[in-house]
Structure 1
Amino acid sequence: MFSKWRKKSAESKVVEVAAPVTGRAVPLSEVPDEAFAGGHMGQGIAIEPEEGKLIAPFDGTVVHVIKSSHAVMVENAEGMQFLFHIGINTVSLKGEGFNSHVSTGDKVKAGQVLIEFDISKIKEAGYPVITPIIVTNADEVASGLETLTGPVTAGRDVILKAVLKS
């Protein structure tokens, strides 16, 4: 009688996340900031962007937009929350070079532009433009994240795979 339930709960949900920016995906260990590189902010990956557009890699809800528009948190349909953090120490720019197109609570569609940013302005100010992508509630993940590195195109190439707890 309960075999159907057991079978259903044993099924694992695999979530794949596409790149939110176009560039080169690298391990978090390459981020020049110990909080990210050491995994203190959570598990994830980073992208060295080639163009200044951060898009929604999935349909979801904007959980939080940092006041200076250099970072945004988005939750997917499975309840996973992601922090997209453009550059390192870019909060110091106080929003200069960043243009957010979303607000907290907004529903977003895959491919929608979340933030536009000026790569040259960030670099001229002396900040790395590398963009960490962090799973902020990794306790929802059954096993470690699988990360895929190399050249990526926003909205097209998968950078993260996770098996969710059932």
Structure 2
Amino acid sequence: MGMKQTIAIASPLSGEVIRLEQVPDQAFALKHMGDGVAIIPTNGRLLAPFDGIVLHLVSTKHAIIIQHASGLQLLVHFGLNTVGLQGDGFIAHVANGDQVSAGQLMMEIDLEYIQSLGYSTWTPIVVANEDYRVEIDSDYKTVLAGDSGMMNVVLPV
């Protein structure tokens, strides 16, 4: 039995890390979309949380799945019900299949615009793989985008 592989996930956004259970959206709060954390962002610069590829950038740009070399898939869902914006307020700097490096700017998001239309900018960040164990040793504090160790993910053996 080897050591379990653990992947440290850097924060993709600057802001306050909160528990997923605090998100006022049942699909996320009940972890139907996966386990993880959420961030209340202080700016709209969304960075790659690790080296990987853009597995899926949805057409409305409010959600992106990044895949790590290990197979880990991380979903960043910017805001709540923001699919309704149809991409307004989002500028993507990556496309499906792109290689990204940790800390690379993936998207710019106009926080003030999105809030002015009444949308929440709270951003769930969850592991999409059902069989991966998420170990959240976040101390739920204010982070800067690119800060390492927002949460750790233990891969199945």
Specify the TM-score bucket, using the shorter chain as the normaliser: over 0.9
CA contact (8 A) 1:43 1:145 kept: no
Residue 165 of structure 1: aligned partner: 156
- Give, in whole Å, the separation in 2 of the partners of 1:147 and 1:63: 26
The yes-or-no answer on 1:146 pairing with 2:129 is no
Residue 90 of structure 1: aligned partner: 82
Report the TM-score when normalising by structure 1. 0.90
The yes-or-no answer on 1:50 pairing with 2:42 is yes
RMSD: 1.1
- Runs of 5+ consecutive residues of structure 1 not aligned to the other structure: 1-8
Structure 1 residues 111-147: Cα deviation after superposition (integer angstroms, max 9, x where no partner): 1111110111111111110010010003033xx4224
User: Counterparts of 1:1-166 in structure 2 under 5 Å?
Assistant: 9-141=1-133, 144-148=134-138, 149-166=140-157
Q: SS where residue 10 of structure 1 aligns?
A: coil
Percent identical residues: 42
Once the two structures are TM-superposed, the CA of residue 40 in structure 1 deviates from its matched residue by 0.8
Q: Comparing both structures, which one devotes a greater share of its residues to helix?
A: 1
- Runs of 5+ consecutive residues of structure 2 not aligned to the other structure: none
- Give, in whole Å, the separation in 2 of the partners of 1:165 and 1:113: 29
Hey, which bits of structure 1, 4+ residues long, moved more than 2 A? none
CA contact (8 A) 2:16 2:39 kept: yes
Q: How many residues align?
A: 156
